């Protein structure tokens, strides 16, 4: 395994996003020159002070546009693709993944890390899972040696998962629990970043798929109880019948800001956990971080008196 990327240019699609900022920091710390490629590179300007002079570049690219993708990968030693979306899923997660992989193949770039998700399956009933699976297939077809990472639900200070539930629990005296039996294996964003950089520097990872999960498997109901305890709240949790949740997702999920889309409901019908026998974080030399080890650092903001709350 080579953890030193000094002088190498790594193009990072989606580098200014939630996972991307952690991957960028990990690469910069290892001496890589990092090219942040995204539709609005100015939104990622906060990354510039993290590198040395000239170590960070910014390039405008829309993953849905093959020409812009091909342009920004030129001169790269390696590429990491992190872009995902709950909107325009086929265009971003299938066609976009294909654009990145095809551009790498055309440029002779064999070191490609593609971040997908547990649940990716070309036969999935959910557009999210299906587009992720089709994206993986396109990557494999264009760059057989690409490394595919499939994280479970990713948590971290800037996430839209743990924070979203914490916000609801803080506001509501009665909290409905949808798909309380669905199981997750939350993985820390720093561990996903460590896995991406390890995969890029380890020739033994080429052509393999890794499923990334944390050390704990929690049901939706148990996760919400854990969050409530962590922020010192005691709402009443009320399980929502599956029929009612499905009806809500079907009838209102199309609306902007809907609490649950139909596609999300379909994804909740399966567990988001590492499959038996899958290669994992440990195979990349990364130790999984428990939720309790890091989440209280930012969840304190949801306590009644913040950092001044009684323990």
pLDDT tens column, 193-239? 999 999 999 999 999 999 999 999 999 999 999 999 999 999 999 99
Q: Taking the CA of residue 303 as centre, how many other CA atoms within 13 Å lie in the half-sphere pointing to its CB?
A: 17
At residue 1, the pLDDT reads: 60
User: How many other CB atoms are there within 10 angstroms of residue 241's CB atom?
Assistant: 9
Q: Which two tokens stand for residue 235?
A: 């709402």
Q: Taking the CA of residue 50 as centre, how many other CA atoms within 13 Å lie in the half-sphere pointing to its CB?
A: 23
* Distance separating alpha carbons of residues 145 and 143, to the nearest angstrom: 5
Residue 35 has pLDDT above 90, yes or no: yes
Phi/psi at 105 (5° precision): -60, -45
At residue 42, the pLDDT reads: 87
Phi-psi region of 257 (alpha: psi -120 to 50; beta: other; left: phi over 0): left
* Distance separating alpha carbons of residues 311 and 309, to the nearest angstrom: 6
At residue 308, the pLDDT reads: 62
* Distance separating alpha carbons of residues 278 and 211, to the nearest angstrom: 6
Residue 310 has pLDDT above 70, yes or no: no
At residue 99, the pLDDT reads: 98
At residue 307, the pLDDT reads: 63
Q: Mean pLDDT score of the chain, rounded to an integer?
A: 94
Phi/psi at 21 (5° precision): -65, -35
At residue 259, the pLDDT reads: 84
* Distance separating alpha carbons of residues 178 and 59, to the nearest angstrom: 40
Q: Which residues pair with 148 in a beta bridge?
A: 114, 209
Q: Which residues pair with 154 in a beta bridge?
A: 187
User: How many other CB atoms are there within 10 angstroms of residue 74's CB atom?
Assistant: 14
Instruction: Write down the pTM of the prediction.
Output: 0.94
* Distance separating alpha carbons of residues 51 and 32, to the nearest angstrom: 9
**pLDDT > 70 in the chain, percent:** 97
Contact status, residue 186 vs residue 219, Cβ threshold 8 Å: no
The per-residue b/e assignment along 109-148, b for 16 or more CB within 10 angstroms, e otherwise, is bebbbbbbbbbbeeebebbbbbbbbbbbebbbebbeebbb
Q: Which two tokens stand for residue 169?
A: 């629990």
Distance of CA 12 to the CA centre of its chain: 14
Average of per-residue pLDDT across 73-97: 95
Residue 2 has pLDDT above 70, yes or no: no
At residue 53, the pLDDT reads: 83
Q: Which two tokens stand for residue 154?
A: 């990713």
């Amino acid at each position: 395994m080579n953890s030193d990327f000094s002088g190498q240019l790594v193009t990072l699609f989606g580098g200014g996003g939630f996972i991307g900022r952690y991957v960028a920091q990990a690469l910069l710390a290892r001496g890589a020159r990092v090219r942040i490629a995204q539709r609005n590179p100015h939104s990622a300007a906060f990354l510039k002070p993290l590198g040395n002079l000239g170590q960070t570049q910014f390039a405008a690219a829309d993953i849905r546009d093959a020409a812009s993708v091909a342009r920004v990968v030129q001169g790269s030693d390696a590429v990491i693709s992190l872009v995902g979306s709950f909107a325009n899923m086929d265009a971003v997660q299938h066609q976009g993944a294909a654009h990145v992989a095809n551009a790498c193949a055309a440029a002779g770039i064999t070191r490609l890390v593609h971040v997908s998700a547990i649940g990716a399956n070309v036969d999935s009933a959910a557009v999210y899972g299906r587009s992720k699976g089709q994206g993986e297939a396109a990557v494999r077809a264009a760059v057989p040696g690409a490394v595919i990472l499939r994280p479970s639900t990713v948590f971290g200070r800037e996430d839209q998962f743990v924070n979203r539930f914490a916000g609801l629990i803080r506001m509501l005296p009665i909290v409905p629990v949808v798909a309380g039996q669905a199981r997750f294996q939350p993985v820390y964003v720093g561990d996903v970043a460590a896995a991406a950089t390890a995969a890029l520097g380890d020739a033994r990872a080429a052509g393999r798929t890794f499923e990334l999960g944390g050390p704990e498997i929690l049901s939706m109901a148990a996760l919400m109880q854990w969050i409530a305890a962590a922020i010192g709240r005691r709402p009443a949790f009320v399980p929502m019948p599956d029929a009612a949740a499905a009806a809500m997702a079907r009838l209102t999920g199309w609306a902007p800001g809907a609490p649950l889309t139909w596609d999300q409901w379909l994804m909740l019908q399966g567990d988001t956990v590492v499959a038996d026998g899958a290669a994992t974080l440990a195979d990349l030399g990364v130790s999984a971080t428990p939720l309790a080890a890091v989440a209280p650092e930012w969840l304190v903001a949801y306590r009644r008196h913040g950092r001044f709350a009684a323990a």
